Structure 1
């Protein structure tokens, strides 16, 4: 009986191995994430507009349910001595917002800064400056998202520890939606989305006002600072105009 069990397990393992090999053979090279942002030479040739188009195209791939297939081992080796991402994404802390996947990207493609409510402060600004001025990123993308807990908490005037100070940075976005027609509460999806978008634009304004370095780079066309909202139910990133 024991021998029979061993034979069954071995057969199963062989079947699984063959299946995995077949699946790997069925993956075309086009499906594996390339190294678009991985080398200094390629990064230097990219313009902010080109990077934006790449991000939009890759998000379309993600929202169309294409797998994010990465050659992780190869990327780790190639990126170990340097990094040359094309963009820096300032995202919310939310665990439902997998930034690299949303933009169908892998190791070495993107800088990602995460903080609840995708707000900006001195540390975030310093990180964005490093990404663009020192490491050559061409785009700063402030990424808000649907159903944001930080936005809901700011609307509800939550006060709790250091969360209180963080939420105070979202309050100006609430003030900017005073003309909203409808119920101004966190249970109203329309109002929540209005504040979410206003908060993204408010963060962009803070970046420009509080980082002369980044503002100058943008004015010279070296970078673009843009905003977007991630729609969880579809996977689509909606780019905003400010």
Structure 2
């Protein structure tokens, strides 16, 4: 990562030893509050976000996931982040993920308030509203990465495989059908086969990325110019791993 990013990370993740008595203190010029010996990262600033390349942002998310998996997450002072971001936000990424209760991206990637835009919908599908939201995140607000994150054992994918019919959910699951149909798999092509389900889920991520590029001239142009990157990943429920997809 760049020296600028290293400086940002060291600023945001610094751990300071408290003075005797553990009184709270403001670390001059850093925006960090120290309580009982632990410094808490404040909200992401414009200078920090702008110093990062898209690759830096991806690396930041991967490192956050490693902290999550190892149980060494940052200790976020959400009230301080709330105050710091009240008058402006400078997220580095926009994340499209599933509504599944086990996959909150901010926690899995160890991110705080003001660091990422988050769009959640069953099966991490794309539609005009999602694409428009991603355009806002990147073209208007300056996010540098769009991450489409699927996950293993996805219930929406299972429903699409089974062709479930249930109110408005029926139309949503139809959006996953292209991934079901294009997944090459010679074994049991049912929702009871975890391997098939996960392969469809990964292809569904790729399909959503394809739709973003095809449906948004704005985002496609930004990606071609190197201003943003659009990437896909699978989150593994069993071990908490974020796997970037090729």
Instruction: Give the TM-score normalised by the residue count of structure 2.
Output: 0.84
- Alpha-carbon distance in 1 for matches of 2:234, 2:160: 18
Distance apart, 1:34 and its partner CA: 5.3
SS at match of 2:221: helix
Matches within 5 A, 1:113-192: 113-177=119-183, 179-192=184-197
Q: Which residue of 2 aligns with 1:211?
A: 216
- Alpha-carbon distance in 1 for matches of 2:113, 2:235: 21
Q: Which residue of 1 aligns with 2:84?
A: 78
Distance 1:53 1:67, change over 3 A: closer
Query: Would you say the 8 A contact 1:62–1:104 is kept in 2?
Result: yes
Equivalent residue in structure 2 for 1:225, among 224, 230, 235:
230
What RMSD over aligned residues (CA atoms) do the two structures have, in Å?
1.5
Larger Rg belongs to: 1
Distance 1:80 1:153, change over 3 A: same
- Alpha-carbon distance in 1 for matches of 2:92, 2:211: 22
1:87-113 deviations in Å (ceiling 9; x for gaps): 011000111112111010111111100
Higher helix share: 1
| Structure with more contact order per residue of length (Cα contacts < 8 Å, sep ≥ 6) | 1
Matches within 5 A, 1:17-166: 25=36, 28-29=38-39, 32-33=40-41, 35=43, 38-166=44-172
SS at match of 2:232: strand
Number of aligned residue pairs: 214
Q: What stretches of structure 1 of length at least 5 have no aligned partner?
A: 1-19
Q: What stretches of structure 2 of length at least 5 have no aligned partner?
A: 1-21, 24-34
Distance apart, 1:46 and its partner CA: 1.2
Query: Would you say the 8 A contact 1:152–1:192 is kept in 2?
Result: yes
Distance apart, 1:232 and its partner CA: 1.1
Distance apart, 1:75 and its partner CA: 0.8
- Alpha-carbon distance in 2 for matches of 1:68, 1:150: 31
1:182-229 deviations in Å (ceiling 9; x for gaps): 110101011011100000000000000000100000000000000000
- Alpha-carbon distance in 1 for matches of 2:150, 2:75: 25
